[in-house]
Structure 1
Amino acid sequence: MLRGEEAVTGAESYYGRPVLKPPVWKVPDVPLYLYLGGVAGASSTMAVLAEATGRARLARAGRLAAAAGATASVGALVHDLGRPARFLNMLRVLKPTSPLSVGSWILAPFSALSGAAAASELTGVLPGAGRAAATAAGLIAPAMTTYTAVLLADTAVPGWHEAYRELPFVFAGSAVSSAGACGMLAAPEESGPARRMAIAGAVLELAAARRMHRRAGLVGEVYRQGRAGAVLRTARTLTCIGLGAAALSGRSGLARTAAGLCLNAAAAATRYGIFEAGRASARDPRYTVLPQRAS
C-alpha cells in the first residue's frame, strides 16, 4: 500500500489506482458531439433572427447548419453509446435532476424540429410548418448550445467540475462564433449579422476561457500541460486569427473564408482540448484530493 503523501502527490493512488475512473467516452465521438451540438444550437438561433429581419439566405443557411449539426451530433453520440437503443432508453424517463436525462430530452426534439425545418426548406413542402418547426427549434436552441457544458461540469471529473461557472460561457461563445462563421461562408451576401455573431462569440469565448483558467487553481494545470494544453493553445491562436479575419471580412472574401474556417476549427479544438483536460485530471489523484483538502 502506498503511503498517504505518495498517494496524493504521485501519479497513482492506493493500490496503484486513480481515485476516479477516467471517462470511457470515445474520441472523436464525444468531442464531435460537443462541437456539433453547439454549432447546431447557435445556427438555429441565427436562422430565427435572420428570418425575423428578412434575410432569407442567412435563415436558410442557419436552418441547414442546425439540421446537419444536430443530426451528426446524434450520430456521434449513438456511435459512442454503441447501439441506438441506448439513446432511446435515455428518453424513457425525464429526470430533471439529471443533466444527462435533460440533455437527451433537449437533443431529441431539437434534432427532430431542425430536421423538419431543413426538409421543408429544401423541398418547399409545407413552408408554414417548416417555419413553425424552425421557430420551435430556436426556442430550444439556447439550451442546446450550452447543455453539454453543464453535463460535463456536473460530473466528478476535477477539470470539468472546477470550471462549472465558466464552462457554459466558453461553450456558448465558441458555438456562437462557429455558427456565425458558418453563416459567413454559406450566405456571403447577407453575412453582416453573421460576422457580428462570429466576433461577439469569439470575444466571449476568449474572455470566459481566460477567467476559467485563472479561477481553476491547481486543476487549471491540466488546461496548460500535455496534449490538452497544446490543443487549447492552438484553439486560442485559431480563434484570434479568425477574430481578426472576421473584422476584415466586410471588404474581403478571402478574409471571410479564413474567418469561417479558423473559427470552426477553433471551436472543434476547444471542445477536444477541454475533453482531454478533463480526462487528464481524472487520472491524477492530486486534482481530486488536494482541492477537497483545501475546501
Structure 2
Amino acid sequence: MTPDGSGGFWRSPRRLRTVARGDRDGSRPFREGTATPGSDVTRDGVGGARPGREAVTGAPGKRRGGRGRRGERSMVPDAEFSSYYGAPVLKKPTWKPLDIAGYLYLGGLAGASSLLAAGGQLTGRPGLAVPAKLGAAGAISLSLAALVHDLGRPSRFLNMLRVFKPTSPMSVGSWLVAGYAPLALTAAATEVAGRYRPLGSAATLASAVLGPAVATYTAVLLADTAVPSWHEGYRELPFVFAGSAATAASGLALAAAPPAQAGPARRLAVLGAALELGAVRTMKRRMGLAAEPLEQGGPGLLMRAAELLTTGGAVLSVAGGRDRRLAVAAGCALLAGSAALRFGVFHAGVASAEDPAYTVTPQRERLTARGGQVTRPPGDSRST
C-alpha cells in the first residue's frame, strides 16, 4: 500500500517482465491475485484488467505479432482483476438505501419548493404559493424523519449540531437543515392557520434564501466521500442535483396548482430538465470508468427511466398548456423522474464501492498523468 493509504501498489517493471514470460520451469502460469508464496510480485497482475475486458496479453495459445516469421506464443492467460481474498478495496456505504436515497430526494424537493413559494408570493399567485409552501414543509419533515431513522436515534442528529465545521459537508448540511426546517414549517403553519401572515411571509422568503443550499448540499456530501461514482463526479453532481430539485418542485406545483397560475412552474420544469440532463451527460463523459455503474444494472435502469420521465414531463408541461389533466401527468412524470435519478445515483455509488477496479484503475490513470511518480517513504528504494 502507498504511504497515504490510497490503495496503489508497488510495481517492478523487471518483475512484471518475468511474470509475462511465465514460469520457465513449466509450473503453472501466473494469474492475477495468485502470486506464489514468498513472491513479491504485485497482486494487481500485469495490467489490472477486469473480467470481460481486454486481457493484457490475450488468451493462452494465441500468437502475438513479431518481427520474425514465428510469432511469440503467449504464456499468460486472460488477467483477472481481484483483491486479497476477493474483498473490496473500499467498504461500501452502510446507509439504509430507502432512508438516505429518500433523504436526498425529499431535501431537493423541499429546497426548490421554497423558491417557487417565494416566487408565487411575490408575484401574487396564491394558488402556486400555497401548495409550494405545504410541499416544502411536508418534504423537509419526511426528509428529517428518514435521516433520523437511518441514524437510529434523534439524539444522534442533535449531536451533529454541537460544533460547526465549515470544511465538513455533513456539519454544514446539518446546520442548513436545522435552520431551514423551522422556516418552512412556520410558512406552512401560518398559511394553514390563516393568522400571522407577516410572519409567514418573512419565513417564506427566508426559507427561499436557504432553499438552493438545502437542495444541493447533499451532492457535495456524496462527492466528499471516497466512493468512486460519487467522488469522480464532484464537478457536475451539484448541478445534477440542482436540476433534479427544480424538476421535482415544478412537478409538485404542476400537479397541485391551478394551471392559470402555474406559469413559473412550467418554466422551471424546462429549465430544470435542461440543467439535469445536460449535467448528467457531461458528468458521465468526464468520469470515465467510474461512470459505468450509472449505466449498468439496476442503477442504469433508474438513470434511463429518470431521463425519459424528466424529458417527457418537461415536454408535457409546455405542450399541455393550461390543460389540467396534462399538467397533472407532467407533474407526476417530473416527480418520478427526479426520484429515479436520486435513487440511481445512490445505488451506483454503492455498486462502485463493491468493485475494486473502480477504485484502483482511476488511481493508476492519475499516476500515469503525473508521470508515474510515486511518493516513497524515507529509505525506500523500490522502483515503480
User: Above 0.5 in TM-score?
Assistant: yes
- Please list the CA deviations of residues 132-177 of structure 1 after superposition, one character each: whole Å capped at 9, or x if unmatched: 1111111111101100000000101000000001101110001101
After TM superposition, list the pairs within 5 Å mapping 1:61-100 onto structure 2.
Answer: 61-100=131-170
Number of aligned residue pairs: 295
Cα distance in structure 2, aligned partners of 1:35 and 1:12? 34
* 1:235/1:265 contact within 8 Å kept: yes
- Please list the CA deviations of residues 80-103 of structure 1 after superposition, one character each: whole Å capped at 9, or x if unmatched: 111111111111111111000100
Cα distance in structure 2, aligned partners of 1:90 and 1:12? 38
Equivalent in the alignment of 2:205: 135
Equivalent in the alignment of 1:5: 44
Partner of 1:219, secondary structure, is: helix
- Please list the CA deviations of residues 228-269 of structure 1 after superposition, one character each: whole Å capped at 9, or x if unmatched: 111111111111211211111214222111110000000001
Equivalent in the alignment of 2:113: 43
Please report the TM-score for the alignment, with normalisation by the length of structure 2.
Answer: 0.75
After TM superposition, list the pairs within 5 Å mapping 1:108-147 onto structure 2.
Answer: 108-147=178-217
Cα distance in structure 1, aligned partners of 2:203 and 2:34? 59
- Please list the CA deviations of residues 197-221 of structure 1 after superposition, one character each: whole Å capped at 9, or x if unmatched: 1111011111111111111101111
Higher RCO structure, 1 or 2 (CA under 8 Å, sep 6+): 1
Partner of 1:165, secondary structure, is: coil
For structure 2, the residue ranges without an aligned partner over 5 or more in a row are 1-32, 36-42, 51-79, 367-384
Q: What is the aligned-residue RMSD (CA, Å)?
A: 1.4
Matched, 1:183 2:222: no
Cα distance in structure 1, aligned partners of 2:34 and 2:156? 39
Cα distance in structure 1, aligned partners of 2:349 and 2:220? 14
Match of 1:25 among 76, 95, 102: 95
* 1:2/1:14 contact within 8 Å kept: no
Runs of 4+ in 1 over 3 A off after TM superposition: 6-12
* 1:120/1:126 contact within 8 Å kept: yes
The amino acid that maps onto 1:5 is D
Larger relative helix fraction = 1
Cα distance in structure 2, aligned partners of 1:2 and 1:228? 32
* 1:2/1:15 contact within 8 Å kept: no
The amino acid that maps onto 2:107 is G
For structure 1, the residue ranges without an aligned partner over 5 or more in a row are none
Percent identity between matched residues is 53
Cα distance in structure 2, aligned partners of 1:210 and 1:258? 26
Please report the TM-score for the alignment, with normalisation by the length of structure 1.
Answer: 0.97
Match of 2:302 among 231, 252, 263: 231
Equivalent in the alignment of 1:261: 332
Equivalent in the alignment of 1:149: 219
Equivalent in the alignment of 2:176: 106
Equivalent in the alignment of 2:270: 199
Partner of 2:97, secondary structure, is: coil
- Shift of the 2–41 alpha-carbon distance from structure 1 to 2, 3 Å rule, reads farther
Deviation at 1:12, TM superposition (A): 4.5
* 2:44/2:83 contact within 8 Å kept: no
- Shift of the 48–13 alpha-carbon distance from structure 1 to 2, 3 Å rule, reads same
Matched, 1:284 2:355: yes
- Shift of the 41–15 alpha-carbon distance from structure 1 to 2, 3 Å rule, reads same
Equivalent in the alignment of 1:211: 282
Deviation at 1:16, TM superposition (A): 2.6
